[in-house]
Amino acid sequence: MKKHSWHVNIEDYAPLIGDEVLERILHKAHRLRDLRVLHLSSTFYGGGVAEMLSSATLLARSLGIKADWRLIQGSPDFFNVTKKIHNALQGAKINLTELKKEVYEEIVVQNALRMDLTGYDVVVIHDPQPLPLIRHFRRTCPWMWRCHIDLSQPNPEIWEYLRGFINEYDAVILSLPEYAQRIAPPQVSIMPAINPFSLKNAEMGAAEIKDRLEHYGIPDDLPIVVQVSRFDHWKDPEGVIQAFNLARTEVDATLVLLGNVATDDPEGQEVFESLLSRKEERIIILTAEDSALVNALQRRAAVVMQKSLREGFGLTVTEAMWKGAAVVGGNCGGIRHQIEEGINGFLAASVETAAQCLIQLLRDPGRRGEIGRRARETVRQRFLMSRLIEQYLDLFSAFEATFSLNQQRLSASGLPVTVSKP
Ligand code: UDP
């Protein structure tokens, strides 16, 4: 299989997805070639959205789709408000005062004033930060809102407020079918996916793994338990430490919490600092922007945890499963769609259950191997970037009638023009 590469073509996926699927994707992309798509989000790194967009836009480009990715800018005030909105969408209680709404909407207006969006055939707006942009453009193409957040229990008041913006979109893309809401636009679900050839996910030799761990002073004399996550209370790093402490009364291990702080997440630093007092010889808390370290840890770990309390999808789970790790995930959101209890991983709703899973897995390398092999196969079948790109192509095709230039091109090329409703 192809090793790490900065430039991935859909053909590189052939050994993983087969020639038939490859041909199907190439055919769908050919019909939409030169389509100009804009993805707009709020950070270039530090979370699943950025992780996916960096690979998905390049893969789309290699298929002839002119995919761009732009960011909105915001002040700390703005990102404070949008993180509150994010939390409320995941069910937290917040008081969104008129002043906060004003900050949110005004910064978006300022972004709109600086932005020229002419020439696109489709605009995809990611998450709540840039959501109100739609109010400030004369629309000449479909606009889609792509929400990556766990919408299983959104705060009703915030939802009501955001719904006004959401209803103006032509389509809404959610991570899971059960996140569907009462809104005007048609809703589709597209589960996230990983790039198996990225620095973070590609094969890695034992020497490279050892080198990365040594570089950060991570001991590998005992089995390693890892959680890789933005420093965010929803990821429950506190719960991971509690579960680890319970488990190590019975088995010896080292815990590594690797985290980062996204530029659009003002709470990260505070969560990181709140954890530092829990550091000790066998509890390592690290922050580093290092994809190779994520790769090394997920490969070297005896158990990977993702004990989230809410999780839109949980790319870290996919990444670890791809590497054949035994994963213990929170019983929520997208983790439930990836892990089949006891088959390719474990789901743990409480600290106690998580500790039990840890003990069981740490004691049984054979079981870990079995679980990990099935986990990798699950990702191969369902969570590779090739599948995500195909779903985007299908969605865009459903709006084909609105791509006027594209229509002419298709007619001129003699291909049939099919128009289907989303
Ligand atoms: N990530 C990383 N370094 C870190 C923490 C997270 O590279 O220290 C990456 C992780 O590998 C994954 C993404 O950030 O690709 C997190 O995506 P996920 O869907 O799990 O969670 P989100 O942060 O989007 O809520």
pLDDT the model gives residue 264: 82
- Of 10, 8, 15, 24, residue with least CA distance to 394: 24
Ligand 1 geometric centre to CA of 407 (Å)? 39
Q: How confident is the model at residue 321, as a pLDDT? A: 98
Distance CA 102, CA 72 (A): 17
Distance 260 CA to ligand 1 centre (A): 8
Query: 97: CA distance to ligand 1 center in Å?
Result: 30
**58 in contact with ligand 1, CB cutoff 6 A:** no
Residue 331 CA to residue 349 CA, distance in Å, equals: 5
Residue 400: the pLDDT is: 84
- pLDDT of the residue at 2: 63
Under a CB-based contact definition with an 8 Å cutoff, are residues 239 and 23 in contact?
no
Does ligand 1 lie within 6 Å of residue 235's CB atom?
Answer: no
pLDDT digits (tens, 9 = 90+) for 125-151: 999 999 999 999 998 999 999 999 999
Alpha helical stretches, state H, 277-384: 291-300, 315-322, 335-338, 351-363, 365-382
Is residue 98 within 8 Å of residue 76, measured between CB atoms? no
CATH number for the domain whose boundaries are 12-193+384-418: 3.40.50.2000
What pLDDT is attached to residue 172?
A: 98
What pLDDT shows up at residue 6? 83
User: What is the bridge-based pairing of β-strands 224-230 and 303-306?
Assistant: parallel
Domain 206-382 part of CATH 3.40.50.2000: yes
Q: Is 47 in the pocket of ligand 1 (CB under 6 A)?
A: yes
Q: What is the pLDDT of residue 416?
A: 32
- In this chain, the answer to whether the domains covering 12-193+384-418 and 206-382 adopt an identical fold is yes
Residue with tokens 């993702």: 306
H helices present in 383-420, as ranges? 385-397, 404-412
Nearest CA to ligand 1 atom 8: 259
Q: Considering only CA atoms, which residue is closest to atom 11 of ligand 1?
A: 316
The 10s digit of each residue's pLDDT in 381-412 is: 999 999 999 999 999 999 987 775 444 444 44
Answer whether 112's CB lies under 8 Å from 397's CB: no
In the prediction, which pLDDT does 38 show? 98
pLDDT of 7 reads 87
- Residue pair 347/339 in contact by the 8 Å Cβ criterion: yes
Over residues 167-223, the pLDDT tens digits come to 999 999 999 999 999 999 999 999 999 999 999 999 999 999 999 999 999 999 999
- Judge whether 260 and 231 are in contact, CB under 8 Å: yes
- Ligand 1 probe mutation, 275, 316, 319, most atoms within 8 A of CB: 316
Domain boundaries, the chain: 12-193+384-418, 206-382
Give me the residues of the chain with pLDDT under 70, please: 1-2, 404-422
